[in-house]
Structure 1
Amino acid sequence: MTADIDTLADTVADALANDGYIILPDGPGKQISHALYQRARELSDSQWQAAGIGRHGDHLLAKEIRSDRLHWLDYEHQAEANYLTWLEQMRIALNRRLFLGLFDSESHFAVYQPGDFYRRHIDAFRGRSNRTLTIVYYLNPEWAQADGGELCLYDTIDKQSVRGQEPLIESVLPSFGKMVIFLSEKFPHEVLTTQKTRYSIATWYRINSSDHGFIDTAK
């Protein structure tokens, strides 16, 4: 594990313990960012799949909720493998600091075309709250405020808030290399309508919610 990972993990762990989230200006570094941006751009149309909501038997497409497309990361492509290795190092480092019991991770590219969005939601499936930490990593050079596509994080600390009307705490422009890490069950969030093609990678660190002796798989 590199010193850079250890230093960054200290910062992330402190922020998660105190605030539940952190915004990093340059994630794992420009070299990984550039390689992943090129990888996202070279994916063919057939390699992207329509994103849905829910899981396994409850999975469905719901264009009124989200309209992005995705491509799952694996170790077969070098740029993806380098990032997945970095994520694994971060998982181990955060477990050592926060004792979260993070078991594994799952990651996918997401592409939003002009007009696409993802309505307010929480990253935990009903009855299956095995997603513990969410990481969103942005790959958009020269992104301007007018381009839209912001990630909005909402606060659930105020128990008087009506569901769906929680106060906004952060509006994050999806600019190149930026990374947002937050507790998956704590923060409702949404992606506002984008005005131009927008790339990101979503990752979830998961705990093992095994049932009847079977390991809970990622996909």
Structure 2
Amino acid sequence: MQPNLDDLTWNIDQILDDLDQHGFALIDDAYPEHYVHELSNECTANLNRFRDAAIQNGIVSNIRSDHILWINDELPLAQQHIHQLNQLASGLNRNFFLGIKDIEAHFACYNAGEFYALHRDNPQGKNGRMISSVFYLHEQWQDNWGGELRLQDKHDQWHIISPQPNRVALFQSDLMHEVLLAKHQRLSITAWLRSDQNLF
């Protein structure tokens, strides 16, 4: 089943207002449970294909230790989430004139002991990333398992966002953020709504 935005409980007006006022928005219970279950299975079935995200072009970064798998047409369930983000992008373009043209996305796995230090996805407008998105795929989570998203909003206030199952976090790509140390396997789809063509 392909979920349709018209059938979901996403409050688009609230999302737009939260992004406008604070620079970030949360969508809880984003999708039907059966879709999240199937998508989680698609993610875990491909864990052996994930690569070390800290190694890019042969260079090792010390600011992150997660593992990723870029999403393509071979991952049809993940593509359904990207389809929904594309529909949301239309509303963002109408209201904020962001000029979003494309979405890049990957599965992300943080095993126990892994993290992503403070950074911006689009520092000083150096790339086309306009809005960042994290969709939490694990089907259960406990508060003491870590892995929170720590985010500075557009007013320089800090927020700790728990990686609750079936939650989507959206935020401006130029905001400072980090993923705190995970104490349990944490699964997600990270996506960027871009004003240029997908470069990965």
For the superposition of Structure 1 and Structure 2, which TM-score range results when normalised by the shorter chain? 0.7 to 0.9
- Partners of 2:10 and 2:27 within 8 A in 1: no
Question: Residue 205 in 1 paired to residue 187 in 2?
Answer: no
- Give the 5 Å matches for 1:1-219: 2-4=5-7, 8-45=11-48, 47-52=49-54, 60-62=59-61, 64-124=62-122, 128-155=126-153, 157-158=155-156, 167-168=157-158, 170-185=159-174, 187-208=175-196, 216-219=197-200
- Partners of 1:137 and 1:178 within 8 A in 2: yes
Q: For each residue in 1:117-144, what CA deviation from the matched residue of structure 2 results, as whole angstroms up to 9, or x when unmatched? A: 0001111156623110001111122211
Give the stretch that moved more between structures: 71-80 or 170-179: 71-80
**Percentage of matched positions with identical amino acids:** 30
Aligned partner of residue 171 in structure 1, secondary structure: strand
Aligned partner of residue 59 in structure 2, secondary structure: coil
- Partners of 1:5 and 1:89 within 8 A in 2: no
Give the stretch that moved more between structures: 65-74 or 119-128: 119-128
- Partners of 2:37 and 2:139 within 8 A in 1: no
Displacement after TM superposition at 1:79 (Å)? 0.9
- Partners of 1:153 and 1:171 within 8 A in 2: yes
- Partners of 2:101 and 2:195 within 8 A in 1: yes
Q: Distance in 1 between matches of 2:147 and 2:166?
A: 15
- Structure 1 residues 101 and 92, CA, compared in 2 at 3 Å: closer, same or farther? same
- Partners of 2:51 and 2:68 within 8 A in 1: yes
Mind listing any 5+ residue stretches in structure 2 that lack a counterpart? none
Displacement after TM superposition at 1:82 (Å)? 1.6
Q: For each residue in 1:168-194, what CA deviation from the matched residue of structure 2 results, as whole angstroms up to 9, or x when unmatched? A: 2x1111121011101111x21111111
- Partners of 1:16 and 1:182 within 8 A in 2: yes
